[in-house]
Amino acid sequence: MDSFEFNKIAGAVLGTALVVFGLNELSKIIYHAPEPEKQGFAIEVAEAAGSGEAAAATPAAPAESLGAMLASADAAKGQTVFKACAACHDGSKGGPNKVGPNLWGVVGRMHGSHEGFAYSDAMAALKDKPWTYEALNEFITNPKAAIPGTKMAFGGIKKDADRANLLAYLQTLSDSPVPFPAP
Ligand code: HEC
């Protein structure tokens, strides 16, 4: 092959390479798509409103009176709610004091009056006040706020319906159940 032939071939190869390279660059310019900054889709999950701590910290103002809540309360459901109390309270007649006092007949009985239980000073100081449904409702909502200094280490039950059901269950823990307040 003479040098002329070689130049032709080399020129063709070089030319092809230039064209391919050029097209490639050209297509980059024409079809320029910005690289996504993050690969994949960003899935945004909205925080469920009113869940967890936030809801517990800000209970909705009761829409109904306690009497109205109790009129439609369900003692059987309240018995389930009472499981949160049963770790510390026995509710049976003549049953023992545990971490907390026995709760048989608690509705209508005086604060801090169950025999054989060592109450806090704060609770004992209220010994002339009966446990009404209103007082129980307030205490169970937030024990430490209702009776500062109580030794009942329990956060409280924030849901109105749960408390109403629980109070309806506490009503049954008695030989002579105390009637609910009028709606
Ligand atoms: C962690 C243990 C614990 C849990 C859980 C608990 N309590 Fe108590 N409770 C106590 C203690 C301790 C006292 C005594 C408080 C004091 O002397 O200040 C008490 C006192 C009470 C009293 C006052 C009784 C009286 O004789 O004056 C009531 C009413 C009561 N609890 C209801 C409940 C209910 C209803 C629940 C469930 C929603 C509950 N407690 C959950 C420990 C507990």
Question: Does 8 reside within a domain?
Answer: no
What CATH code is carried by the domain that includes residue 82? 1.10.760.10
Joined together, the tokens standing for residue 161 give 């319906």
Q: Which domain range does residue 99 map to?
A: 65-172
Q: What is the pLDDT of residue 58?
A: 54
If one counts the domains in the chain, the total is 1
pLDDT averaged over 10-residue windows placed end to end, the chain, 183 residues: 74 73 68 62 55 52 83 98 98 98 98 98 98 98 98 97 98 98 93
4 Cβ contact partners less than 8 Å away, ≥ 6 residues apart: none
Tell me, in angstroms, the distance from the centre of ligand 1 to residue 152's CA.
5
Q: What is the pLDDT of residue 171?
A: 98
Is residue 66 lining ligand 1, measured as CB closer than 6 Å? Answer: no
Question: Does 55 reside within a domain?
Answer: no
Angle (nearest 5°) at CA 94 between 92 and 97: 80
On whether the CB atoms of residues 139 and 147 are closer than 8 A, the answer is: yes
Question: Does 111 reside within a domain?
Answer: yes
Residue nearest to atom 40 of ligand 1 (CA): 85
Question: Does 139 reside within a domain?
Answer: yes
Is residue 158 lining ligand 1, measured as CB closer than 6 Å? Answer: no
DSSP H helical ranges for the chain: 3-30, 52-57, 66-71, 75-81, 83-86, 121-124, 133-141, 143-146, 160-172
Phi, psi at 146, each rounded to 5°: -70, -40
64 Cβ contact partners less than 8 Å away, ≥ 6 residues apart: 160
Question: Does 161 reside within a domain?
Answer: yes
Question: Does 42 reside within a domain?
Answer: no
pTM (predicted TM-score): 0.73
Tell me, in angstroms, the distance from the centre of ligand 1 to residue 100's CA.
5
Ligand 1 atom having least distance to the Cα of 99: 12
Question: Does 159 reside within a domain?
Answer: yes
Question: Does 132 reside within a domain?
Answer: yes
Position 49: which residue type?
A
